[in-house]
Amino acid sequence: MKKRKLFYSQWYGWVGLAAIVISAAVLCVSIWYLTDTIFKDTDYIRIEATVVDIAEVYVDKPHGGRKLRYSEIAEYTVNGVKYRAQNNSASTAPKKIGSKIKVAYNPENPEDCFFPTSNYPACVVMFVLGCGFLACGTYLMCLEAKERKMEKLTKRLPNAKFITSAADKAQFIQTDKPIIAVCGKSNVGKSSFINMLAGQKKLAKVSKDPGRTRLVNYFDFGAFVLADLPGYGFARVSKTEKQKWAHLLDDFFALKCASHVFALADIRHDPTADDKQMIEYLYYNLIPFTVIATKADKLSKAAAGRGVQNIASIFKCGAGNVIATSAETRQGLEAVLERIESVISLNQADSGDN
């Protein structure tokens, strides 16, 4: 039996856990100090006392040597009765004789007193420090959880490999696995998207010249088969060639073998007429699809969000059905893998019912 790791990464999880433990300790101490200070302020009465004498006291250090400390003798009056108390906590030069100093006494026993030092600033500092450790630890644990989730999702996708290419419907493959099709215009980044999904650089050939994909290319991703459809909308292709690609797409979807379609669109621009026609075709034939908004790394986060909303509005689908991706930064990969996982699960459920 394979031993399960507590944390996947080398340091995210451990450092995050340590930060959370430290934050818990610091927050507990700050709360204890705050509570102790509040109770003392509630139970004891603070008044001004007068320093009447000062003594120098040498105390032994824990590791040898002696340290000079000052002891202040303060006098205070309660109900006409004078009391004296000795402040041994001062480590710096004390106030002059005759100066005023705060003393807190127990109203039930005025001899029970102490020289208060406000713990409120220390409580605030410790609380802020504890919150900082908590935020850091939570962030690192979220990174660890994300990595664990990605590991779980990618386990369903072993090393992808090319199967075959089909030039006509007679060559389309039949399989019990769900088939997920990828479609989009010629320069939208289909090959880069497939390579990102596979975690490889050369599974699908990326060409500098758009329109190179003229066949239906099949790739085995283990739990499903991916079908890379010919790109559409390339101006430098003859009308005859365009019609040939259109017939190939019609034949592919006519088989109703595609469990899901990833329709790619460039997030930087409005969808083209060909993009709209493709989405209308999927709507008309009741084919489930997800819009993949590619090249999100070319925009700021805010601009990418507006691009997603714009595409969703034009395609008349919810923004949740548009995933912003980047083959360069692997942005959106987790969301795409989750969508694939749901497609696989749905296909398995349908197969079980049948």
pLDDT, one tens digit per residue, over 113-133 is: 877 766 667 778 888 888 888
What is the DSSP secondary structure assignment for residue 349, as one 8-state letter?
Answer: H
Q: Do 92 and 48 meet the contact criterion of CB atoms below 8 Å apart?
A: no
Helix (H, G, I), strand (E, B) or coil at 213: coil
Least trusted range by pLDDT, from 149-158, 163-172, 217-226: 149-158
The CA-based diameter of the chain, rounded to the nearest angstrom, is 112
pLDDT at residue 208 greater than cutoff 70: no
pLDDT at residue 280 greater than cutoff 70: yes
Q: Is the dihedral of CA 129, 135, 137, 140 positive or negative?
A: negative
Helix (H, G, I), strand (E, B) or coil at 324: strand
Least trusted range by pLDDT, from 107-111, 233-237, 342-346: 233-237
Share of the chain above pLDDT 90, in %: 27
28 conformational bin, left if phi > 0, alpha if psi -120 to 50, beta if neither: alpha
Residue bearing tokens 């006392």: 49
Q: Which of the four pLDDT bands, split at 50, 70 and 90, describes residue 4?
A: very low
What is the DSSP secondary structure assignment for residue 157, as one 8-state letter?
Answer: S
Backbone angles phi, psi at 297, to 5 degrees: -70, -15
Among candidates 220, 230, 179, which has minimal Cα distance to 340?
179
pLDDT given at position 353: 60
- Contact residues for 33 (Cβ-Cβ < 8 A; gap 6+): 119, 122, 123, 126
Q: Is the dihedral of CA 164, 166, 167, 170 positive or negative?
A: positive
pLDDT of 302-343, one tens digit each? Answer: 999 999 999 999 999 989 999 999 988 888 988 998 899 899
Burial of residue 302, with CB atoms counted within 10 A of its CB: 0-12 exposed, 13-18 middle, 19 or more buried: exposed
Confidence (pTM): 0.62
